[in-house]
Structure 1
Amino acid sequence: MDILIERADGVLTIAFNRPDKKNAITAAMYQTMADAFVEAQGDAAVRVILIRGSAGIFSAGNDLEDFMNAPPAGEDAPVFRFLRAISSAEKPVVASVAGPAVGIGTTLLLHCDLVYAADTASFSLPFAQLGLCPEAASSLLLQRVAGYQAAAEKLLLGEAFDAREAQRMGFVNRLLPAAEVDAFAASQAAKLAALPASSLRVTKSLMKRASHHDVQTQITDEAVHFGKMLLAPEAREALKAFFEKRKPDFRQFD
């Protein structure tokens, strides 16, 4: 199974389990995660959701081959179902990042309430490098937590940055040794699960209410542009270069 789902002591754990592909996410994996979030919403026994990767890797982002063979079409595509589910989750969402987080591996963290990362973790948002644009409302959320200039540097250049910079930017709560991060995130999730569910739900709702509509609108707007750009010559050149292990040449495009 590329996604492992576990329920124990009030915590629903969603774990990427595709280490041979650096936990690159396929449409089927998005579907599994979306379904897990929806089920958790209606299950009173689930009080907290924990997302983690596998040893040494969080996620390399979208599986590009899967993405190109079956581009997401329409709002019911698995990736958009997942984004709606995580962005509208009423229960606390905790993330444990023990290694590289690329593309949506980083942007999904912007929808989590608590993010704990290994001090060796890295992050990147290489959308412009792939001839694409931001997704998951990252063009809105990243500048909210980090400020416009910091967000612009990461989204326009798409260069990787380390865990300490991610913490300074404000979307990582705490850094830990790589061998400890999963256990620590699990302990934090357990603390939340022991608290009154109604208090957590109302507190999160109050914090999210003012921005929720903007986030959903931004996800939709980004998706429209992303879908068009995915089929454009620039993205084709970027992805062809990726598979050919060479640098893309964008000078041929206006």
Structure 2
Amino acid sequence: MNALTWDQRERIMALLAAASADPAVRAVVLTATGKGFCAGADLRGSPSAPAAPSAPSSPSSPSERIAGDVARMIRLGAQRFITSVMDCEKPVIAAVNGTAAGIGAHLAFACDLVLAADNAKFIEVFARRGLVPDGAGAYLLPRLIGPQKAKELMFFGDALPAAEAARIGLVNKVVPADELHATAKEWAERLAQGPTRALALTKQLVNASLDSDRASALAAEAAAQEINMTTADANEGVASFVERRTPKYRGL
């Protein structure tokens, strides 16, 4: 069910960082194979890499922990993982092919667009295990669906079918399972043909908007406009409008 290991987490973060830096990459799709999208963190084993500030591992028992160990592990692990999706400079699509539980659900919700197979489901599994949600779940969900519905999902830990997830605003579109990857490819290709830097700046503005006051949000908008007007794609967009032709964006 694609329970997330330390190695997988680090690899995904490295790929997202590489996508941000590579002008040839203009959209990202996160998906999985098998019956599940991601069943949450793999709690059965410890990381294969030795513990270090950038590669934390879980202490083996509560008696071995000292104050700050768990908070540090969460900051450098689950939180760093989820924010790597939110901070990626390219648009990120989640193509959820099956169960997304725990941090697997938060991984999907952190993406810019969420496609779900009709047999997919989302589970805030933490309360079932006596745990507090991590991976920015208590940050993301209230902003997506409001605090009351977020608390319902997190308190009860019930499975949320894809259709209901779409109805309440957690999923952009539900498609038959056998159409999921084709739809994700179609969306990614549309995004890849767009003005990549403008999309990155738009993503930053939207992500910051719910944490900003009006003056800060409008100042950020003006700064983003200033930056974007230096790009080749902005000039192409204006020129194509004046010349009444379809723009050809190059992501520059």
Query: Structure 1 length normalisation: TM-score?
Result: 0.70
- 2:134 paired residue number: 135
Query: How far has the Cα of 1:120 moved from its partner?
Result: 1.1
8 Å Cα contact 1:23-1:57 kept in structure 2: yes
Spell out, residue by residue over 1:207-240, the C-alpha distance to the aligned partner (whole angstroms, 9 max, x if none): 1222468xxxxxxxxxxxxxxxxxxxxxxxxxxx
Which letter does structure 2 place at the counterpart of 1:64? L
C-alpha separation in 2, matches of 1:106 and 1:133: 14
- Contact 1:27/1:79 (8 A) holds in 2: no
The CA distance in 2 between the partners of 1:100 and 1:131, in whole Å, is 20
Alignment of 1:243-254 (within 5 A): none
Amino acid corresponding to residue 187 of structure 2 in structure 1 = Q
1:167 is matched with which residue? Answer: 166
In 1, Cα distance between equivalents of 2:146 and 2:80 = 28
Name 2:179's counterpart in structure 1: 180
Counterpart of 1:189?
188
Report how far residue 205 of structure 1 moved: 1.9
Matches within 5 A, 1:213-224: none
- Residue 52 of structure 1 corresponds to 31
Q: CA deviation at 1:101?
A: 0.8
Partner AA of 1:96 in structure 2: A
Residue 14 of structure 2 corresponds to 35
Aligned counterparts of 2:159 and 2:46: Cα–Cα separation in 1: 22
Offset at 1:116?
Answer: 0.5
Divergent runs of 4+, >3 A: 67-70, 75-81
Aligned-partner Cα distance in 2 for 1:55–1:169 = 26
| Structure 1 residue 165 displacement after superposition | 1.1
Q: Specify whether residues 119 and 143 from structure 1 end up closer, same or farther in structure 2 by C-alpha distance, changes over 3 A only.
A: same
- Unaligned runs of 5+ residues in structure 2 are 49-56, 60-68, 213-252
Q: Is the 8 A contact 2:32 2:96 kept in 1?
A: yes
Shift of 1:66: 2.4
Q: Are 2:84 and 1:97 aligned?
A: no
- Unmatched tracts of structure 1, length 5 or more: 1-21, 214-254
| Contact map agreement 2:143 2:210 (CA 8 A) in 1 | no
Q: Distance in 2 between matches of 1:170 and 1:80?
A: 23
Distance in 2 (CA, whole Å) between partners of 1:45 and 1:160 is: 38
Mean CA deviation greater in 60-69 or 97-106: 60-69
Q: In percent, how many aligned pairs have the same letter?
A: 38
> Aligned partners of 2:184, 2:7: CA distance in 1, in Å?
26
Contact 1:95 1:116 in 2 (8 A): yes
Task: Give the Å deviation of 1:67.
Answer: 5.5
Q: Which amino acid aligns with 2:85?
A: I
Amino acid at match of 1:136: G
Amino acid at match of 1:134: P
CA deviation profile, 1:161-212 (whole Å, cap 9, x unmatched) = 1111111120100111001111101110111001111221122122122246
Structure 1 counterpart of 2:156, which letter? Answer: L
1: distance between equivalents of 2:21 and 2:37?
Answer: 27
- Tell me the residue number matched to 1:147: 146
Contact preservation (8 Å) 1:96, 1:182: yes
2:5 paired residue number? 26
The aligned residue for residue 43 of structure 2 is 64
Cα offset, 1:78, TM superposition? 4.4
- Say if 1:34 and 1:78, in contact at 8 Å, map to a contact too: no
Contact 2:29 2:92 in 1 (8 A): yes
Q: Give SS of 1:116's match.
A: strand
Following the alignment from structure 1 to structure 2, what is the Cα–Cα distance between the partners of residues 65 and 48?
33
Q: Letter of the aligned partner of 1:158 in structure 2?
A: G
How many pairs align? 192
2:198 counterpart residue number: 199
- Give the whole-Å Cα distance in 2 for the aligned partners of 1:122 and 1:71: 28
